[in-house]
Structure 1
Amino acid sequence: MKILNAIPLTLALLLAACGGGTAEPEAHEGKEHGEEAGHAEGEAHEDEGKIVLSADQIAAAGIQIGRPTVGGSGTIELPAMIEGDPEGTQVVSAAIGGRVVALSRNLGQSVSRGQVIAVIESREVAQLKGEVEASRARLALARSNLEREQRLFAQKVSPEQDLIAARTAATEARIAHQQALGQVSAAGAGGGGLNRLGITAPVGGQVISRSVVLGQAVAADTELYRVANLSSVSLSFNLSPADAGRVKPGNMVMVNAAGRQASARVAFVSPALDPQTRLVPMLAKLDNRAGQWRVGEPVTAAIQLSGAGMADSAVRVPSTAVQTVEGKPTVFVRTAGGFQAVPVTLGTTAGGSTVILGGLKGTEQIATVNSFTLKAELGKGEATHEGH
């Protein structure tokens, strides 16, 4: 009887042991799946907001990169005018009077430095070139006489004073020839004839003005062309003396026009008032390598003001740099492989710039223009990730 009663108890213990053994692998398997899921979720979190783009792709998309502005105590909006950069604008004039017989460039066309862009026909040109030929002939004769006197002196046939005189004459002839060449060079270049002179471009750039027509008689120093290197343009505006005292070279200027916005930097603040307007003239430098700004175009300029004695550390970015991603204001920060979407906290917006209260340090490089293309790219990446 005792043996029969023990059999059910033994079976029960064996079944319990088998059940416990089965539970342990399930728990272990669940733990492994949990670790894999957590690892995948961590990778997805790390890639969130990341956009991979090459430098060529960034340039092709027209995305401009800049840095936030730190400091300042506000902005002021003023009308302004786009002008050619004074350092890159050159007047091409006729060095001598005559008749214009050739003009090889029209408005808007590109020119290279040293390229002949006009030809003038003049009696004065014929005289200059004639003097060059005459001085060249005198120089050749003087050198020949010098060689002859050197031989005669070496043979002790000619006295030393004859050799000295020949050497002096050769030197004078060489100087006269160099002067004749210099006069022609100062007037222009070869124009294809004895009485024609080519006028060359002193700088490379674009023709922004042409003041003469073919066949026109011009006097010396008459302006023929105006050539400008428009990869950089100037922004001219005027401030009241009170506001001008709060603007320093280097302050940021946000430039706004129809469908366009860019940032510039104050380059010059006049120390004197304009005698007619009683305002302070100022200039800012604006990058125009994309060719989107035209000389003579009116724009609106929002100038950053500096607070006297204020330790203002506000971070400002162009308003075009801020996009809304998943309901949050976002700025795209440049990384080694592209951009990273960074949520930010916004402050006030004025004059085309926005104050960033949190999210940026102010030392980052950010997408300032066409950042909406990065928002679209980010949306496509998220849609692809959800599809998988």
Structure 2
Amino acid sequence: MLSRTFIAVALPLSLALTLASCGGGEAAKEASATSEGAGEKAAHIDEGKITLSTDQIAAAGIQIGRPTIGGSGTIELPATIDGDPQGTQVVSAAIGGRVVALTRNLGQSVGRGQTLAIIESREAASLNAEIEAARARLALANSNLSREQRLFAQRVSPEQDLIAARTAATEARIALRLARQQLAAAGAGGGGLNRIAITAPISGQVIGRSVVLGQTVAADAELFRVANLSNLSLSLNLQPLDAGRVRPGAAVTVKAAGREATARVSFVSPALDTNIRLVPVIATLDNRQGQWRVGEPVTAAVEFTGTGTGGDGAIRVPSTAVQTQKGKTIVFVRTRTGFEATPVAVGDRSGDSVIVRSGLKGSEEIATTNSFTLKAELGKGEAAHED
């Protein structure tokens, strides 16, 4: 009789103490009041069964959910958003000079071929002068060629003079083309013989600018950084075991600050990073709405493929729902009167979940959070029975 009375009041009293230690003053009072009415709302343990009312479950902070069926699980880990390597371009000066104009600032959009800056340089003047000289030489060569063709047709000039004139015209044309290409490589359209324009190689946004107006820059110095941010990259690092269950095309759920989106795995490295001994993984994130930023830390949930343990019909439960009691792995299944400790056989872990091989059908309601409280009460009840 004594042991039954002890069992009847043990669980509500322990719940009240637990809530009081966590700072839940009002909830603790309710749980204490519940312990006083142990006659009607008493909790007892009988062969792994724990009787709890709905109010007692809520007061203990025990959350209830259903197992997940299907898929092969996910793994949740921190990640960082990077710019797409194929969508980021460094804009540099091909020749040295002084910056006399800046047409774009940080964050502004720019189209491909649009001017970012204008540089004034002696070398630019030389390149433009070479084009003018090559153009004049070509005009002279074409004039000589026309004259030799006319004289050869009148049988006044020999054929070798015509051939020489044709060769000179061809060489002059090549020289002009080369001079234009050299100027194009350095920049064109600067608005003067001593100026060149620095243009954007791609369409996007200016995400970096390292010059100011009037600054003298050296050849090949970085002036701007332009990025097309419609697609971003997500950098992940997985354990080798987890990386073996991820394939290109797998979905990655990205979450941060009230935002959520789905990315797709585009690359799984065949080699480990020697510094951290993890496998680098890259996912592509659609950012046409502009809601993600380069360098932003996020949480990524990577979906495993069906090749891992568990298959597409696997039953998965949160790892917080699984407890060990006397060498047995158990999950607390919700009943009409409370919970029942149900033995299960578990398989591999999939991030924050565990695959259940047997013991559950998948349709049960289980304790997913604070299940350790039920485990503690189960142990107390078994100890009371032994007394």
TM-score (norm 2): 0.62
Native 8 Å contact 2:245 2:308 kept in 1: no
Q: Which runs of 5 or more structure 1 residues have no equivalent in the other structure?
A: 1-69, 316-348, 359-388
CA shift, 1:308, in A, is: 3.1
Aligned match of 1:112: 111
C-alpha distance 173-76 of structure 1, shift in aligned 2 (>3 A) = same
Native 8 Å contact 2:112 2:203 kept in 1: yes
CA deviations over 1:113-141 (Å, ceiling 9, x no partner) = 01011111111111111111100000000
Partner letter of residue 134 of structure 1? A
C-alpha distance 234-210 of structure 1, shift in aligned 2 (>3 A) = same
Native 8 Å contact 2:306 2:312 kept in 1: no
Q: Find out whether 1:258 has 2:242 as its counterpart.
A: no
Aligned match of 2:225: 226
SS across alignment from 2:113: coil
CA distance in 2, matches of 1:351, 1:144: 82
Aligned match of 2:127: 128
Q: Find out whether 1:294 has 2:276 as its counterpart.
A: no
- The aligned length equals 253
CA distance in 1, matches of 2:137, 2:153: 24
CA distance in 2, matches of 1:264, 1:296: 16
SS across alignment from 2:149: helix
CA shift, 1:238, in A, is: 1.2
Aligned match of 1:192: 191
Native 8 Å contact 1:132 1:181 kept in 2: yes
Aligned match of 1:73: 72
C-alpha distance 294-197 of structure 1, shift in aligned 2 (>3 A) = same
Native 8 Å contact 1:256 1:299 kept in 2: yes
Aligned match of 2:161: 162
Native 8 Å contact 1:72 1:313 kept in 2: yes
Aligned match of 2:84: 85
CA deviations over 1:306-360 (Å, ceiling 9, x no partner) = 2435573359xxxxxxxxxxxxxxxxxxxxxxxxxxxxxxxxx9889xxxx89xx
CA distance in 2, matches of 1:310, 1:273: 22
Q: Aligned Cα RMSD in Å?
A: 2.4
CA distance in 2, matches of 1:260, 1:243: 26
CA distance in 1, matches of 2:118, 2:242: 50
CA distance in 2, matches of 1:309, 1:245: 8
Q: State the percentage of identical aligned residues.
A: 72
CA distance in 2, matches of 1:277, 1:185: 45
CA distance in 2, matches of 1:86, 1:294: 15
The more displaced of 110-119 and 92-101 is: 92-101
SS across alignment from 1:203: coil
Partner letter of residue 271 of structure 1? P
CA distance in 1, matches of 2:270, 2:226: 29
CA distance in 2, matches of 1:119, 1:129: 15
CA distance in 2, matches of 1:176, 1:268: 46
CA shift, 1:270, in A, is: 1.4
Native 8 Å contact 1:254 1:261 kept in 2: yes
SS across alignment from 2:104: coil
C-alpha distance 83-351 of structure 1, shift in aligned 2 (>3 A) = farther
CA distance in 2, matches of 1:212, 1:281: 34
Partner letter of residue 258 of structure 1? A
- Spell out the pairing of 1:26-41 with structure 2 (5 A cutoff): none
SS across alignment from 2:164: helix
Aligned match of 2:283: 284
CA distance in 1, matches of 2:121, 2:179: 17
SS across alignment from 2:242: helix
Q: Which runs of 4+ in 1 moved over 6 A?
A: 349-352
C-alpha distance 309-244 of structure 1, shift in aligned 2 (>3 A) = closer
- Spell out the pairing of 1:360-371 with structure 2 (5 A cutoff): none
Aligned match of 2:357: none
Aligned match of 1:17: none
Native 8 Å contact 1:80 1:235 kept in 2: yes
TM-score (norm 1): 0.62
Q: Which runs of 5 or more structure 2 residues have no equivalent in the other structure?
A: 1-68, 315-349, 354-361, 364-387
CA deviations over 1:23-59 (Å, ceiling 9, x no partner) = xxxxxxxxxxxxxxxxxxxxxxxxxxxxxxxxxxxxx
CA distance in 2, matches of 1:301, 1:247: 13
SS across alignment from 2:128: helix
CA shift, 1:276, in A, is: 2.2
CA shift, 1:275, in A, is: 2.8
